[in-house]
Amino acid sequence: MPNSFFQIGVVFILATLLGALVRFLKQPLILAYILAGLILGTFGATRLVSPEALDIFSQFGVAFLLFMVGLELRLTDIRQIGKLALIVGLGQIILTFISGFLICLTLGFGTLLSVYIGLSLVFSSTVIVIKLLSEKNELDSFYGRVTIGLLLVQDFVVILILMFLSGFKGGYQSSFLPFLFIFAKGLGLFLLVSFLAKKWIPFLFEAMARSQELLFLTAVAWCFLFASLSRLLGFSLEIGAFLAGVSLSSLPYHYQISSRIRPLRDLFITLFFVGLGMKLLWQPKLAFLIPALVLSIFILVGKPIIVFLLMSFLGFRKRVSFLTSTSLAQISEFSFILMAMGYSLGHLTSEDVSKVTTVGVVTICASTYLILGGRKIFQRISRFLAFFEKEQIHEVGSRTAKLPEDHIVLIGCNRTGEDILEFLKKKEVPYLVLDFSPEVIQQLEAQEVPCLFGDVSDEEILTQLNLEKAKIIISTVPSLDDNLFLVSWVKAKSAKALVLVTASYPEEEEALYRAGADYVILPHLLGGKHVAHLLAEHADNLEEYLYSKRQKSS
């Protein structure tokens, strides 16, 4: 048997090679890790890599994963998502579980297995969704925030489920007393964390924060301390790690801690998913493939429909409802953890875990395309979704009772946009502001600024801005796709308005000019003050000025 160092080396080398291939194919790296485990398990490579050794190291990955979730999960975040997000989140969990449970029973699964699989289908991947939304620069969009709110609700529920299951040693519990005892122990652990977070943790970490290295080591030690305490109380290591993270989430140093822990999490979580792949018993027989296919279709189609209908019923715009629902069309890392816990408790077999792992691979892969191509898909089917949109739309109010004409439209009011807005206020010209941040809109409304809440890539919102009669349109949004859409839409509707847009890189600047933009702002070179100066000096002949500038630069 090779030594542990050689075994882990083999895992990382294979995971790296497959990761490079998967990255080239623009798929999530988690797929490469599971595929690496599948190869190791299928072709007898377990002689090189011991599953037992992987299990030991993978526990670190799951513990750090939940520690990071706790670090980034604060009560203020839950309050900000609002009542509607909470209703949609809980409604989606209940309806998805019931639907998944009934599907499993129809497929001939036993009751306990149907419960486990039904629960595993409920949750969506926080890691995958946040990663893809950040790549699209849409984390701060309205639908991005709603999506994150729903994921927060899911995270809370799955932690409660894992805490409940971790109190079992195997089999069913026939008496109510074990459940009560589990609840009492969990409550005691939670109260201990709350007490330490208020009384001792700030003092301890303030003393350690003088050294970044010592702060990092203290955070890791804190994670291991609570994970061990959780195990002593009969819960899983992961639950203790999560509570350890929650206890540190309100510290001013939690960003530094998070940035130092993240590489550890990414390193060890790789081993966890490789281990899952090794347990994936791929069986090319109908008894295995048909249930996996049916459940995958339910996640990719049925689950988004549930979310879409709930959001539409509660008054969200069809675009927000659609993009949010398609973002949740996969199962979560916690689904794998849940199934693995069921396997360790003796409730499930390795083949049961393999079915859900297969569903996870399929849905994570397919949902990547749904998220990245969500806007294009929506544009094609938008007219079919109009039936589900209520007349009273749930969104932030806007001061646009009477739309101006021959006005300036400012899209995006953060950073660069703030300087431009200050000029517009002083100049007393007719203007209108569009922003997708609820906080920004609330601030603008408090200042009695004419504003509209919405996304620049929403055609209905652009129509409400009265762009066809606008004089100048300024977009400070850094998204290339959004600005290309804006330029093409405006040029197709009106030849009158001048369009000034923002680019992050020189190659984006060239693409925007080719699309028809009149002027492109590079924030790292020219900020909002420069644009305000342009408006002040050349407001009457801005078109001629921009034309001459472009001629000189070309």
Query: How are beta strands 472-475 and 451-453 bridged, if at all?
Result: unpaired
Same domain, 383 and 414: no
CA angle 207, 210, 212 (to 5 degrees): 115
Same domain, 479 and 511: yes
Does residue 329 sit within a domain?
A: yes
Same domain, 152 and 20: yes
Does residue 172 sit within a domain?
A: yes
Phi-psi region of 318 (alpha: psi -120 to 50; beta: other; left: phi over 0): alpha
Count how many residues are written for the chain: 554
Domain at 276, CATH number? 1.20.1530.20
CA angle 11, 8, 283 (to 5 degrees): 40
Report the C-alpha gap between 353 and 116 in whole angstroms.
10
Does residue 393 sit within a domain?
A: no
* pLDDT beyond 90 at 294: yes
Does residue 364 sit within a domain?
A: yes
pLDDT tens digits, one per residue of 111-139: 999 999 999 999 998 777 876 776 676 76
* pLDDT beyond 50 at 399: no
Q: Kindly give the interhelix angle for 142-165 and 237-248, rounded to the nearest 10 degrees.
A: 130
pLDDT tens digits, one per residue of 464-475: 787 878 888 888
Same domain, 435 and 323: no
Inter-residue contact 481 to 475 (CB < 8 Å) = no
Please provide the average confidence, as pLDDT, over all residues in the chain.
78
Same domain, 114 and 144: yes
Same domain, 373 and 412: no
DSSP letter string over 1-53? ---HHHHHHHHHHHHHHHHHHHHHTT--HHHHHHHHHHHHHHTTGGGTS-HHH
Report the C-alpha gap between 171 and 157 in whole angstroms.
22
Same domain, 227 and 306: yes
Does residue 397 sit within a domain?
A: no
Q: Kind and range of the H or E element at 411? A: strand 408-411
Same domain, 412 and 340: no
pLDDT tens digits, one per residue of 323-337: 999 999 999 878 888
Same domain, 280 and 350: yes
Same domain, 41 and 154: yes
Same domain, 360 and 426: no
Q: What total of structural domains would you count in the chain?
A: 2
Does residue 403 sit within a domain?
A: no
Same domain, 242 and 116: yes
**Both tokens assigned to 187:** 């409550």
Inter-residue contact 128 to 327 (CB < 8 Å) = no
Domain boundary among 387, 417, 437: 387
pLDDT tens digits, one per residue of 82-99: 677 788 889 999 999 999
Query: SS3 sequence, 495-553?
Result: CCCEEEEECCCHHHHHHHHHHCCCEEECCCCCCHHHHHHHHHHHCCCHHHHHHHHHHHH
Rounded average pLDDT over 371-375: 81
Report the C-alpha gap between 554 and 548 in whole angstroms.
10
* pLDDT beyond 90 at 413: no
Report the C-alpha gap between 120 and 113 in whole angstroms.
11
Does residue 400 sit within a domain?
A: no
Q: In what order do the strands lie in the sheet with 472-475?
A: 451-453, 431-435, 408-411, 472-475, 498-502, 519-521
Domain boundary among 354, 387, 420: 387
Domain at 457, CATH number? 3.40.50.720
Domain residue limits at 28: 4-387
Does residue 249 sit within a domain?
A: yes
* pLDDT beyond 70 at 526: no
CA diameter of the chain: 83
